[in-house]
Every structure is written in C-alpha cells, then in structure tokens.
Chains A and B, each alone.
Chain A
Amino acid sequence: MTDIILGLIQETISGLALGCIYALIALGFTLIYKATEVVNFSQGEIMMVGAYIHFFFLNLLMALSGGLNGWIFLLAFIGSVIFAVLFGIIMDFIINKPLKGEPVFSVIMATISLAIILRSLTAILAGPLSIIPISPFGDQTFFLNGVVISILDISIIFSAITIMSGFYYFFNHTKWGIAMKATSADAEAAQLLGIPVNKVYRYVWIFASLVGVLSGILLAPRMALIDTSMSFLGLKAFPAAILGGFGSIKGAIIGGIILGIIETVSLGTLSFHFSWIKEINDIIVWIVLIAVLMIRPDGLFGVSKVKRV
C-alpha cells in the first residue's frame, strides 16, 4: 500500500512539472485568444522551434569556446529570447495583419498552415538527426523519505512559476499589460481611449511566441531527444486550455497542471495496478476533456458569451 502512495506522490511531482509545461503552452493560446479571438494552432510548433534554436545556440557557443559553463547557457537563453521576439513580430506580419477582419475560421486555418510549414521546414533544415538535450541544472535525482525526485522537474516547476508570476505582474501592474486587458475586453473602446491597438496585438503575438520558446527550452531536457514530433505536445496542451476555459489565464494554468498530473499518474502507478488504463492512457486526456465539456460547455473557468443577432 505504501508503495502505491509513494509512487503516486512521485508521479504527482513529475506530473506537476509536465503540467507546468502544458500550462505555459496553454498560456500562449490564451494570450492570443483573449486579445484577438484567434486560436493559434502553431503554439506547439513554436515550442519545438524554440527548443531547436536554444540547442543550436548552445552548440554554436560550445564550439566557439570549447567548453560548457553557465555563461554559455545564459547566452544561449538570451539568444533564444531575441529569436522569440523576432519570431513574434514575423507572426504578426504573416498572420495577424493580413487577416484582420477575416472570419476567425480562416485565421485558425492560417495558423494551422503555419504549423505545417514550421514543422516541415524544421525537418528540412535541421535534418532528420535527433538531438540529445542538456540542462544547466543537470539531471540528478535525490531521495526524500523514499520518494525519488528529479532536480530537472523541480527546476521546471520553479522556472514555470517564475515565468507565470512575471506574466501576472505584467498583466496587472504595468501600463502595457493593462492596455492589453483593455484591448481584449473591447478593442474599439480601447482604441477610442487612445490605446494603440495594433501595437498591442503585436505585443500579444510577441508574448505568445516568447512563452512558446520558453516552454520549449524548459521541456527539452525532459525529453530523451528533440525532434519534430515534440510539436504534437502542443496538441495535448489544447485540452488543457479548453479544460480551463479558453480565454482564462487562471483556467489555462490550472487546466494544464490537472492534465499533466492525470497523464503522468495514469501512465505510471495506475497502469501497473489496472491493466485497462494502459490501453487508453494516451487518449485519457481527451476523454476527460469531452466529459468536462459535456457538463460545462465553456470549460471550468470560462465565461459563456452572450451573442447578439
């Protein structure tokens, strides 16, 4: 019996780390959805590109200096962040600007096509080689009352908390954050009050791209290797965003964490004790999602919209 409890605790911590990644990706969806009502299907691909770029910078710097130290990680991180900002601006130019006023469905399809382009382009440019990622925090584990805890998971959880609280501060206590909130509430009214709405949209895309790249950097060491199939994790973060209710930042974070824990626990201890779970553990997320949507069609924290004719 204690075995099961210890296993559950261990997997919950691991699931919390995975859930934090889901939450970050879901945060990217939510940011864009809140501001522009567009569902960005390419968030998972941005994450994958982020992981690749981070690794590319690491490799480049290691080849230049001949060793591996903390500065290299920092420089590679800064390089990836700059890339993310540029990428966000490009996305704004490709997706947001030309498709203003088009039906939401076409914009969604545009993001899907961007996702296809990104995935295939990465596969063409980076080749079929799979890269083994490294982390600045190492991959040691330690014991705590019989529970095995990986330092990597802890570092992911803490980084994610830092990023999320950074975003929380930004949205609630800075000028641009409040401008973003105003724009997402009512773009026309915000424009009347002198908020540069187009600039706000560009910042939103930049932030979404930034969150995507950061989640990619965080996730990469947890994977055995980086390849283009990493972007399918973005599809798994969808249920997270939906579960919390699209458009609610709190919902995205909680939904992500819930799904991460459900997935890890069902994959581990539960599947050893109940063999039927093993058969369905890669779709359990979707079953939970459909069940929740049956009861609450707007997710756990979503607000149902009133439509005018």
Chain B
Amino acid sequence: MKSRFENENLKWIPFLILFVIFLPFVLKSATFSYKYYLYVINLAGIYIILTIGLDILSGYTGLMSLGHAAFLALGAYFSAIMVDQLGIPFELSLFLTPLLVGCFGFVIGFPALRVQGIYLGLTTMGFGFIVKRLIIVFSSWTGGSSGLHVSDAKLFGWTINSDWENYFVIYFFVIISVIICRRLVKSKLGRAFMSIRDSEQAAIASGINLPKYKMISFFISGSFAGLAGVLFAHTSNFISTDHFDILLSVYFIVMLMIGGMGSIYGAVLGTLFIVLMENLFIPLFEDSLSKYMYLETGDFQAFIFGLIMLIFIIFQPLGFYGMWLKMKIYWKIFPFNPRKRFI
C-alpha cells in the first residue's frame, strides 16, 4: 500500500523535533533573559495549537470563524473549574476539556448548516460576545471580570510550574497536534473538507454529507482550541475575560492569513511570526519611539500589526506558504523561467 506522504520529503522532520527539544538549552546558554523568550515561545505554542485547529475550519473547510477566542476561553475556564473546584485530575481534564469544547463546536456549528459566508462570520462573532458575557454572568464559578487564579498543572505527580517545564509540555502537544492534523488533512476526511471549501454544490453532488462534515470540522477545530485553552489556563495561572477579546479572534485569522491558509506548516509559521513580532521586536521600536512622543502601550503594536497584515494581503495573499510554493516552482524550472516573477 502506498503511503499518503510518499511524494513528500520527511527526512527533516526528526531534525525539526530535535531542534524543538534543544532550543531552550541553546537559549539558556546564549542569553540571560532566556526566561522571557521561553515565555513568549510558550505563548506562541499555545496559539499554534489553536491556529492549526482554525486552519482545519477556515483554511480546509472554508468556514469563516470570527469567534475562536471564545473556544479558547471555554477551554481555559472549563479546565480551571474542573481541576480547581471539582477536583478532577489534570490528566483527565486534558482529555475531557477538548471533548467538551468540541461539543460546543457542535453548538456553534449548527447555525453553520444554514448560514453562509459573512453571515457565519458574524454568527461566530456573536458567539464570542455571548461566551464572554456568560463568563461574567456565572461569576460565582468563574470569578467574573476580576479573573480567576488557576493552579499549576500536575502531570502524574510532576508539578509543572516554570516556563522551562511549560515549554516541554506545550511543545509536546504542539508536535502531536501538527502530526494529527497533517495526517487528518491527507485522509478521506481532509479531502471531504477540501471539496466542501472548493465548491459546496460539487461536494454534495459527489456524495459528501455536508452537515456531517461541517459539524465534524467544527468539532475538531473546537477541540484543538479547547486543548490550547487548557494549556493556557494552567501555564499562565491567571485567566480573565480580558484575555479572550474579540480582537484576539481577529489576530488568530491574521496569523493564519500571514502563514497561508490551507497549510498546516503555514499556520505554525504565521503564528510564530506574529507572536514573536508582537512580543520581541515591536517593543524594541516602541521603546525607542516613545522617547520622542507619547505612546499608549498597544497602540503602536496594533498599528504595525495592521500594516503588516495589509501589506501581506495586498502583495502576498497566500502568505508564507504561497512564498514557499513560488520559490519551489522557481527552482524547479530554474533556468527557463518565463519572466522574472519571483515573490
């Protein structure tokens, strides 16, 4: 039997995993402030898990979601309540929460069967607002808008309480998620998703059960967001409604677009790019700029953010993935390129 990945070069995957394992050691020996870098990379890891799930929904199935921060919030709060208030062990919550949030994916996937395009985008956005409000309404459980302290994760007796330990736990799940998604999009399920994205009518005509596959897509996407939420809650130790703003949902889509929709590695790259940009490079500019003018924190950041996004959409709508594809084609037919159409 032929492998699904036979026309792909997989030799570099072990090197990538080795790189992920040794990165913190390299950072520690290179800089003194490695803890902050690790914190940023951890955040990126959590967002990577979520954007991969969003990629399944938006990039592969073609369903727009402007409320993915709500799934993250649901995951974070469910896990926090289950572990701290109901006494369920963290290992169990790690499995239960994604399933539960995936079921919420069903709930929001239900309108997706009737509404399309921008209507769906707005419905999911409304879902985001409603979830945020519900967190405040159930403030006896969730602590409302003043936030909730979450205990450290305890994995089989091992308490994970530093950025160093968080890194390995988070990136373990990142690698697992990437592998699952890569296999998923190459399977029958993934092909069904892509056919729905390309043309719903044609998908129906070729015997694809549209409601079923749309629901499955929402379930998978919600589960990944739920997993990201669990990790977010137990590694940052504090969650409040401010963490799950509507803007965050938009930023997730930005990450996806900059990486390239419909490509798992693209989603990973886009997320890394945006999170590192936001937390490492922009503050440097902001510091030097704030000597000359008054700057409210976050404004300059958002400005650069919007600018990068606009430039990418206008000049490189397929993102990093598109760049990579163009480069590949360029080198394949290298001496005989029709015109200079590089990047």
Contact = CB atoms under 8 A, between A and B. Distances in A.
Interface string B116-142: 111101110111011001001100000
Contact of B118 (A108, A280, A309): A108
Interface stretch (A113-121, A153-161, A259-267): A113-121
Give the interface residue-count category, chain A: 35 or more
A22 interface: no
Interface stretch (A79-87, A166-174, A282-290): A282-290
Given A289-B126, A307-B201, A120 B303 contact: yes
Give the interface residue-count category, chain B: 35 or more
B296 A109 contact: no
B309 interface: yes
Contacts, number: 127
B126 A290 contact: yes
Interface stretch (B96-104, B171-179, B310-318, B334-342): B310-318
Contacts of A299: 119
Nearest to B315: A98
A108 B257 CA distance: 12
Contact of A113 (B115, B118, B136, B313): B313
A124 interface: yes
Contact of A123 (B122, B127, B299): B299
B201 A99 contact: no
A99 B115 contact: no
A290 B306 contact: no
Nearest to A309: B201
Interface of B: 64, 111, 114-119, 121-123, 125-127, 129-130, 133, 136-137, 199-202, 205, 246-247, 250, 253-254, 257, 293-296, 298-303, 305-307, 309-310, 313-314, 317
Nearest to B199: A309
A246 B309 contact: no
A238 B64 CA distance: 16
Contacts of A246: 118-119
Interface in A238-291: 238-239, 242, 246, 279-280, 282-283, 286-287, 289-290
Contact of B114 (A102, A121, A238, A297): A297
